[in-house]
Structure 1
Amino acid sequence: MTYVVAFDDSPLSQAALGRAVAFAKATDESVVAVAAIPRDAETARERGWLSGDETFSVEQVARNLTDHVTDINPDVEFDYRVVDKYAPRGRVSREVRELAVEHDATVVFIGSDNAGRMVGGITSIGQNVSADDRYDVHIVRHVGD
């Protein structure tokens, strides 16, 4: 079994990662954080994936996200896919779903700013990722316990 976390380093995705790690400790399973990284320096800077003096490259963003994930828990693996600068949410969702399937996810943990609504109303990647019936979904709606 693998718990996969859709990770964008937002507070809710960090909370989702923390929950996945807690579940994994209780069940002796592994955790993989996944992301779709756009080829876009502006997006990377807005999301805090690059510091002000770092030159943009997808590889640098991936290293930084890996560091953020391992700061939360050093046993968590990080994997990613690259998407075009103007990739629609549907494309990002598809990449996250494919990564979940590749890692043989039994549960996908999702945290997003819009996850407080019913799943059908989620405007983030959560709606599309949660629609896949090859794994269960744990939606994190609150940062705190």
Structure 2
Amino acid sequence: MTFVVPFDGAPRTVAALERAREFADALGEDLLVVSVIPQNNAAYARERGWLAAGEPFDMATVVTALREQVADIAPDAAFEYESCSRSVTANRIAKPVRKIAKRNGADMVFVGSDSAGRLTTTASSVGNRIATDSSYDVVLVRSK
């Protein structure tokens, strides 16, 4: 089995990665973390803590920051990233995650949610778009 976790460092994605790591460790399965990075969008990267205030956009810096954060939470996880256009939409984030999940034969995708139990789909939800693919199960993880 392969477990996939979309990850941007937000508390909801940290919670999803922690839960997926627990499952992967308990079951002896592979864990793949996927980050989607909008190209040349320094404001987006700063909002997520990938870049320091005033630091210019640099893809290598962003990838290193994400890779280190993932390694702190799940040292045995594989890490992949995909870039997307500068303009951020839920579909531009979800589409590469779905593609990577399929390419790696994902059995489960762990999606962090701030609204689990209240509302699981919204117009801007990345999780909703990831859940549309029936080739894998989706685990909705509540953020702590």
- TM-score (ref. length: structure 1): 0.90
Inter-partner Cα distance in structure 2 for 1:89 and 1:55: 24
Inter-partner Cα distance in structure 2 for 1:94 and 1:132: 10
Residue 118 of structure 1 deviates from its aligned partner by: 4.1
Per-residue displacement from partner, 1:88-136 (whole Å, max 9, x unpaired)? 2112111111111122110000003344444444632000101100000
Residue 3 of structure 1 deviates from its aligned partner by: 0.5
Residue 54 of structure 1 deviates from its aligned partner by: 4.2
For residue 103 of structure 2, what is the aligned residue in structure 1?
102
Give, as a single letter, the amino acid of the residue that structure 1 aligns with 2:4. Answer: V
For residue 4 of structure 2, what is the aligned residue in structure 1?
4
Count of residues paired in the alignment: 143
For residue 112 of structure 1, what is the aligned residue in structure 2?
113
Q: Which runs of 5+ in 1 are unaligned?
A: none
Report 1:37-48 matches (<5 A). Answer: 37-39=37-39, 40-48=41-49
Q: Using a 3 Å threshold, how does the CA distance of structure 1 residues 63 and 139 change in structure 2: closer, same or farther?
A: same
Residue 87 of structure 1 deviates from its aligned partner by: 3.5
Residue 52 of structure 1 deviates from its aligned partner by: 3.1
Query: Runs in 1 of length 4+ with deviation above 2 angstroms?
Result: 51-55, 112-123
Identity of aligned residues (%): 41
SS of 2:53's equivalent in the other structure is: coil
Report 1:3-42 matches (<5 A). Answer: 3-39=3-39, 40-42=41-43
SS of 1:42's equivalent in the other structure is: helix
For the pair 1:67 / 2:86, whether they are aligned, the reply is: no
Per-residue displacement from partner, 1:21-64 (whole Å, max 9, x unpaired)? 10011110011110110010110001111123644212211111
Inter-partner Cα distance in structure 1 for 2:119 and 2:54: 40
- TM-score (ref. length: structure 2): 0.91
SS of 1:32's equivalent in the other structure is: strand
SS of 2:107's equivalent in the other structure is: strand
State whether residues 7 and 33 of structure 2, in contact with CA within 8 Å, keep that contact through their aligned partners in structure 1: yes
Give, as a single letter, the amino acid of the residue that structure 2 aligns with 1:35. Answer: S
